[in-house]
Structure 1
Amino acid sequence: MNFDDVLAGVEGAEPISGMLEAWRWSPTPRFVFSLALDSKRNCAYQMNVIDHFDQGLVIAVLEFAKDRHLAEEVKDDTPFTVAPGFTTEFHGFDVVVAVPPAVHQYHFGRGNALGEQIIGVFPAYSCEFSGHETLEEAIHRFKRMIRPTVVERPVAPYLRMRYENTRTGSGSLGPSRGFTTTDVLLRELALLEGTVGSFVEWENFRGEVWHVTWDGSWLINGSVSEPLSETAVLSTLGCPESP
């Protein structure tokens, strides 16, 4: 594919100042798409942002992806390729994540072949990925939970949970833990006291599991304990504080 020819047909595409073989364009007033060719020129990396375009961060992510040749690390069975060692002066991100076309779906349905040659990249936090996500899980996390286009986003930790509360009658379906958010975890833990037979169980990105019940006293992984504070609960997820 001749990327120059393809980009010539992208309305409003212009070179990114300070970076070679890189372009940006805005399909709508809120979005800015940025793309940079890999040094081998057989694929490109694209980072999309909404509302707040931080050119320094975008260039840093694209240059990191190019220097690491992340396209060579992306595999069909690992929909999130997490590359550590990324740092920025004004953000807490510690990794750059690359995703294949099946996850990002950029340019699909637009009548050109560009999408199949694009590796989506974005800055993220290592605690957001286990490395064992299925394709379906990765698409769900990418589109609905991580919000990679939002530069100033809060941390979205990898958090799987199941629970049952005998007082409220609420609970998860089946024996498997499902993806959820920290506010749900904290809410269900707060509702646990005084509900014999209830439990809350969650798993972090390392595969570590906590099982909390109340039976006249707090039991955490089978041992009597003081109730976990909000800070202690969040620390089990291994994430930095939200920027």
Structure 2
Amino acid sequence: MREAFRLDDDSKTISRLAIFGRFRFRDLIAIGHEGETMNEVGMFSKDDLLQSFACVDEYAGCYFFQHKLPKVVYEYCLKSTDRKDLLVISEGVSDRAFSVEVVERAPDSLSQDKTTIFDIAPNKYGFTHVLVVPNTYHGSLKGRLDGKRENLYLCIPIHRCEFSGSESEGEFKEIIQRMIPIFHWSRSVCPKIKVYFDNPGTEAGTDEAGVLMKYPTLLSEIENLNGVVSGFVEVTNYKGQVVEVLSPKKDVFTLVRNRKDEEVLTHSKLVEALNGFVLAG
């Protein structure tokens, strides 16, 4: 009987999310006066934030404040206007100039009904775009400031291949819990890939819907496919493009593009082709 495929968890990411899950984000701002609730809808003021954070600085039209945990510090950058509130969070790094650049480049046409992606200038982190998610996608500034979250957006610097920009709330949360430490700006690129595969040799596989998978795990499954004539691995990248990998005999692989264009490759050449497919499309 075939075993269901199980993904390995990134223990560091899970630990990080466990912290946020335990605090449910609202506890990240529950450092001030007890028993007070901010119900007014509108812009965040410095006084609002000072009820929850020990120190709030103003820089280039934004508020900067921190939440300190025993092993890591999260820095917040908030630009609050009467139309929208833009929040940037970084883990273990303080870069006010970059945070300000992120919020300043955000488009006016943001919606609480969908995610948005916009590009940014070259930077030392290698990020190419910013993903903006509505307030329902994240728990930042919940609790005392709940009444002011109506126009709150979380702005996440990303490598373009990490998100499609059309993620549902559930898919987004799965990605940040298992795949991408979004607040870690020096992270390695983690391309968004969905994998559907069947390997009779290892008795592993997925259902037709596929699963989100880390790229190193995909490469391991490609190695496991070597010489398994009746097996296959189907990969969907962040653009929704699909390729299929077959192995008609030992050390020979076939890459199928567009469901019909076949190319016979060695393992090393196949990996090169997959690199381009998942990172650039």
TM range (shorter): 0.7 to 0.9
What is the rounded CA distance, in whole Å, between the counterparts of 1:61 and 1:131 in structure 2? Answer: 17
The 1-side partners of 2:110 and 2:53 are apart by 31
1:10 paired residue number: 52
Q: Post-superposition shift, 1:106?
A: 0.9
Percent of aligned pairs sharing the same letter: 22
Name the residue aligned to 2:244: 211
Judged with a 3 Å threshold, the aligned counterparts in structure 2 of structure 1 residues 87 and 220 are, in CA distance, closer, same or farther, namely: same
Code of the aligned partner of 1:205: Y
Q: Distance in 1 between matches of 2:86 and 2:57?
A: 14
Instruction: Give the deviation of 1:112 after TM superposition.
Output: 3.6
1:83 counterpart (118, 121, 126): 118
Instruction: Give the structure 1 partner of residue 180 of structure 2.
Output: 146
Structure 1 residue 197: deviation in Å? Answer: 0.8
Corresponding residue SS for 1:119: strand
* Aligned mates of 1:169, 1:113 — CA distance in 2: 51
Q: Contact 1:36–1:45 (CA<8 Å) still a contact in 2? A: yes
Shift of 1:194: 1.5
> Aligned AA for 1:95?
H
What SS does the aligned partner of 2:254 have?
A: strand
- Alignment partner of 1:37 out of 80, 86, 92: 80
Kindly indicate whether the alpha-carbon contact (under 8 Å) linking 1:127 and 1:237 is maintained by their aligned counterparts in 2.
yes
- SS at 2:173 equivalent: helix
**Deviation of the 1:235 alpha carbon:** 1.0
1:64 to 75, 97, 105: 105
For the residues of structure 2 that align with 1:168 and 1:81, how far apart are their CA atoms?
A: 40
| TM-score computed with the length of structure 2 as normaliser | 0.74
What is the distance in 2 between the residues matched to 1:103 and 1:13? 26
Q: Please list every run of 5 or more consecutive structure 2 residues that lacks an aligned counterpart in the other structure.
A: 1-41
- Deviation, 1:7, is 2.4
RMSD: 2.1
CA contact (8 A) 1:192 1:214 kept: yes
Q: 1:89 to 1:218 in 2, by over 3 A?
A: closer
Identify which of 61, 65, 68 aligns with 1:28: 68
1:227 and 2:266 equivalent? Answer: yes
Going from structure 1 to structure 2, the CA distance change for 1:45 and 1:136 (only over 3 Å counts) comes to same
Contact 2:88–2:156 under 8 Å retained in 1: yes
Alignment: residue pair count: 228
Q: Secondary structure at the match of 2:157?
A: strand
* Structure 1 CA distance for aligned equivalents of residues 144 and 58 of structure 2: 23
Q: Say if 2:55 and 2:65, in contact at 8 Å, map to a contact too.
A: yes
Q: Which residue of 2 aligns with 1:171?
A: 205
Q: 1:228 to 1:131 in 2, by over 3 A?
A: farther
Partner of 1:195: 228
In the TM superposition, residue 110 of structure 1 has moved relative to its aligned partner by 4.1
Residue in structure 2 matched with residue 237 of structure 1 by the alignment: 278
- 1:73 corresponds to 2:110: yes
CA deviation profile, 1:79-133 (whole Å, cap 9, x unmatched): x31112x113312211111111111221223464233331100211222222332
- Cα distance in 2 for partners of 1:164, 1:88 equals 40
Structure number with the bigger relative contact order (C-alpha 8 A, sep ≥ 6) is 2
Amino acid at match of 1:48: I
Aligned 1:82-161 pairs, distance under 5 A: 82-84=117-119, 86-110=120-144, 112-161=146-195
Structure 1: runs of 5 or more not aligned = none
> Does the CA contact (< 8 Å) of 1:74 and 1:98 recur in 2?
no
Q: What's the counterpart of residue 55 of structure 1?
A: 96
**Partner amino acid, structure 2, of 1:73:** L
Q: 2:98 and 2:238 mapped to 1: Cα distance?
A: 25
CA contact (8 A) 2:112 2:151 kept: no
Q: After superposition, give the CA deviation of every residue in 1:176-233 in whole Å (9 maximum; x if it has no partner).
A: 1221110111001111111121111101112111111112243222635013533321
Are 1:202 and 1:209, in contact at CA under 8 Å, matched by a contact in 2?
A: yes
In 1: Cα distance, 2:52 partner to 2:151 partner = 15
